[in-house]
Amino acid sequence: MPPKKTVKHRNALSPPAERIHAILSLLDEHYPEARCSLGYESPLQLLVATILSAQCTDERVNHVTPGLFTKYPSAKAFAEASLEELEEDIRSTGFFRNKAKNIQACCRILDAEYEGRVPADLDILVKLPGIGRKTANVVLGDAFHIPGIVVDTHVARVSQRLGLTAHKDPVKIEQDLMSLIPRERWTDFCHQLIQHGRKICQARKPRTSICPLNPHCQYAMEHDDGGVSP
């Protein structure tokens, strides 16, 4: 009679500093070229694309923006556009009326107060219509290379499962990650978590059996049942 197969249970998680180092090394190994998946050529284009990405896939946004940016090449062009026409131009991204209103209101301020340029300042950006900390940090990190923590649904979910935060509020998650992750890694770290969330640590059924972060993951430790099938 063959021996019974035993299930190996993982030990307690390693100390926080060791876990962070291991997680960052594994993310570098598996997602070395992680970057913003929105197409853009200027800070203004990234700002508009990020507004459009709310409740919409990046693929859909990237389908819309080439024509949009040709038609509206500047903040002044967006500011002076027909609101109804702008709504139609972005209709396929969803919530198009509110997005068009925010884009135009934001661009009117940029045109009137900042010579049409996007300011590289978090405190200014978050005061613009339609711009929250997530959008501001995307623009700062990718357009200006100023490190920032971008808390989208993937970053929130994966960081919670890893045990890097116990919070659900995006601002508190951002603060937790800022205290744990080296500042120079903030932007790349978030892009890597987003890729990991899309490919492996999915919302409904995380693919724990093939997850490279398993040894350092609180969720995997608490749900150690031999792994979820990919």
pLDDT tens-place string over residues 4-29: 433 344 456 777 889 999 999 999 99
Do 200 and 146 meet the contact criterion of CB atoms below 8 Å apart? no
For tokens 């960081």, the residue is 159
Average pLDDT over residues 107-127: 98
- Compute the CA torsion angle 118, 120, 123, 126 (nearest 10 deg): 40
The C-alpha atoms of residue 118 and residue 135 are separated, in whole angstroms, by: 12
Intervals of CATH 1.10.340.30 along the chain: 43-143
pLDDT at 194 over 70: yes
For tokens 């062009």, the residue is 77
The residue type at 153: T
List 28, 58, 121, 152, catalytic entry: 152
The C-alpha atoms of residue 79 and residue 104 are separated, in whole angstroms, by: 5
The C-alpha atoms of residue 123 and residue 221 are separated, in whole angstroms, by: 39
199 by DSSP, 3-state: which?
helix
Question: Is 89 noted as a catalytic residue in this protein?
Answer: no
Average pLDDT over residues 90-102: 97
Average pLDDT over residues 90-117: 98
Intervals of CATH 1.10.1670.10 along the chain: 16-35+149-222
Q: Which of 128, 54, 58, 136 is nearest to 97 (CA)?
A: 54
Give the Å distances, CA to CA, from 201 to 10, 53, 217: 19, 21, 11
- pTM value > 0.85: yes
Q: Which of 140, 55, 148 is nearest to 93 (CA)?
A: 55
Do 162 and 217 meet the contact criterion of CB atoms below 8 Å apart? yes
List 111, 134, 176, 188, catalytic entry: 134
CATH class name, domain 43-143: mainly alpha
CATH for the stretch 16-35+149-222: 1.10.1670.10
Residue 124 token pair: 């200014």
pLDDT band at 227 (very low <50, low <70, confident <90, very high): very low
Q: For residue 59, give every residue at least 6 positions away whose Cβ sits within 8 Å of its Cβ, in sequence order, or none.
A: none
- pLDDT number for residue 11: 55
Q: Which of 215, 159, 214, 221 is nearest to 230 (CA)?
A: 214
The C-alpha atoms of residue 213 and residue 211 are separated, in whole angstroms, by: 5
pLDDT at 54 over 60: yes
Question: Is 152 noted as a catalytic residue in this protein?
Answer: yes
Residue 129 token pair: 């219509």
Q: Which of 70, 117, 63 is nearest to 91 (CA)?
A: 63
On average, the pLDDT of the chain sits at 92
The alpha helices in the chain, defined as continuous H runs, are 16-30, 43-52, 58-71, 75-80, 83-89, 96-113, 122-125, 133-143, 153-162, 170-180, 186-199, 218-222
Q: For residue 26, give every residue at least 6 positions away whose Cβ sits within 8 Å of its Cβ, in sequence order, or none.
A: 212, 213, 216
pLDDT band at 117 (very low <50, low <70, confident <90, very high): very high
